[in-house]
Copies of this chain bind each other. A is one copy, B any other.
Amino acid sequence: MTKHFGNASVRFTNPPSIISTAAIVGPKEGEGPLAKYFDKISADTLFNKDTWEQAESELMRQTIELAIQKAGLTTKDINYIFAGDLLNQNSGSVYGARSLGRPFFGLFGACSAIGMAMALGAMLIDGGFADNVVANASSHFCGAEKTFRFPLELGTQRSPTASWTVTGDGAVLLSSKGEGPFVTAATTGAIVDLDQKDVNHMGAAMAPAAAEVIKAHFDDLGLPHDYYDVIATGDLGIYGKKLTEQLLQDSGFNFCDRLTDCGILIFDKERQDTHAGGSGCGCSASVFAGYFMKKLHSGEINKMLLVPTGALHSVVTIQQGETIPGIAHAVAIERNM
């Protein structure tokens, strides 16, 4: 039976079930509109560690262990961990996964990481190579500021189009057995770069990639435009989402009433002073693992397309005058197979 379609899409013949998720966030995220959907809100941004980097690794380890525990499994039951983050050399994920002792694939797709991880994890399970896979993505506001922007101590004023990196982690446990929701299909994005150079406007860099992968998903799989109840992009933020809507409308996709964005949902722009919205690998990961999974379980959502988006630049490439390459991956999650 054919499993791959069109340019970049796959449909699973035995769709892996999401048997458990966990979402742990920091204090600011815990003051936002989605607070009640997260498993745990840490009052301590350092997660009882000495550095921001160690804090992110601790957050990552705790979240994965919680997801495994919620499923009634132990770490030994996990065949593979796929994990991504924003730090140099994926050190958030590497040091977090170190004590877990399971086969490990480090991913880099910037804030699209949870999409890559879920798509690859689902392919390994449907392909017969695994029974249980953890897909994970994490970010930490302070670690990201240090890596990409300014020392926090400077108190630098933020651009209106800048986003606020989420301190959070979302872990998704995929399994060959289970009652759903199911990962039914996925579309993997190519790198799209329309010469955007403003690192304080990453929504603009990612919007073309988001629009491209959404269009490819519908076209490849021949889906009607009203197929999904919700299409949730990763962390385009307010301005990036507007650009994506425009690009989709220009291509004849008029489902913008169903389009939302994890970066917009996680913070209250006015009250929390987060400008364009939340971002970071942990943004779409924690919003999906916390908020959307509860909506899927309750039946409020039956079918959704999660589209985590990433801005694939580094400080060095930007200093050398390079543009910001964008990427996005689409993962379909449905209550029923």
| Interface residues of A, Cβ cutoff 8 Å to B | 1-4, 7-8, 10, 13, 50-51, 53-54, 79-80, 86-91, 94-95, 97-98, 100-110, 116, 120, 123-124, 126-131, 188-191, 193, 312-317, 320, 322, 325, 327
Residues of B within 8 A of A86 (CB): 89
Residues of B within 8 A of A189 (CB): 103-104
Give Cα A34–Cα B189 distance, bound, in whole angstroms. 37
Interface contact A128-B87, CB-CB below 8 Å = no
Interface contact B325-A88, CB-CB below 8 Å = no
Asked, given contacts A4-B79, A104-B327, A108-B106, whether A129 binds B191 with beta carbons under 8 Å apart, the answer is no
Give Cα A149–Cα B191 distance, bound, in whole angstroms. 30
Closest chain B CB from A137 CB (angstroms):
13
Give Cα A149–Cα B51 distance, bound, in whole angstroms. 22
Interface contact B4-A312, CB-CB below 8 Å = no
Give Cα A90–Cα B107 distance, bound, in whole angstroms. 10
Give Cα A160–Cα B110 distance, bound, in whole angstroms. 36
Asked, given contacts A54-B320, A130-B4, A193-B98, whether A120 binds B91 with beta carbons under 8 Å apart, the answer is no
User: What are 14 of the A-B contact pairs (CB < 8 Å)?
Assistant: A1-B128, A3-B128, A4-B130, A10-B129, A80-B188, A87-B316, A88-B88, A88-B89, A94-B325, A95-B322, A103-B188, A104-B188, A106-B107, A107-B107
Asked, given contacts A94-B325, A127-B123, A127-B127, whether A312 binds B89 with beta carbons under 8 Å apart, the answer is yes
Give Cα A317–Cα B96 distance, bound, in whole angstroms. 12
Most buried by B among A8, A80, A110, A129: A129
Interface contact A109-B98, CB-CB below 8 Å = no
Interface contact A312-B188, CB-CB below 8 Å = no
Residues of B within 8 A of A104 (CB): 188-191, 327
Give Cα A129–Cα B314 distance, bound, in whole angstroms. 31
Nearest residue, chain B, Cβ from A317? B91
Give Cα A95–Cα B312 distance, bound, in whole angstroms. 9
Residues of B within 8 A of A1 (CB): 128
Per a CB cutoff under 8 Å, which of B10, B53, B94, B102 touches A312? B94
Interface contact A106-B312, CB-CB below 8 Å = yes
Residues of B within 8 A of A90 (CB): 108, 312
Closest chain B CB from A188 CB (angstroms):
4
Asked, given contacts A8-B103, A94-B191, A106-B109, whether A87 binds B129 with beta carbons under 8 Å apart, the answer is no
Most buried by B among A13, A91, A315: A91
Residues of B within 8 A of A325 (CB): 94-95, 98
Name 12 extra pairs, CB < 8 A, besides A4-B129, A103-B189, A127-B128.
Answer: A4-B130, A8-B103, A53-B316, A53-B317, A89-B313, A89-B314, A98-B193, A101-B190, A102-B190, A104-B189, A107-B107, A123-B127
Closest chain B CB from A12 CB (angstroms):
9
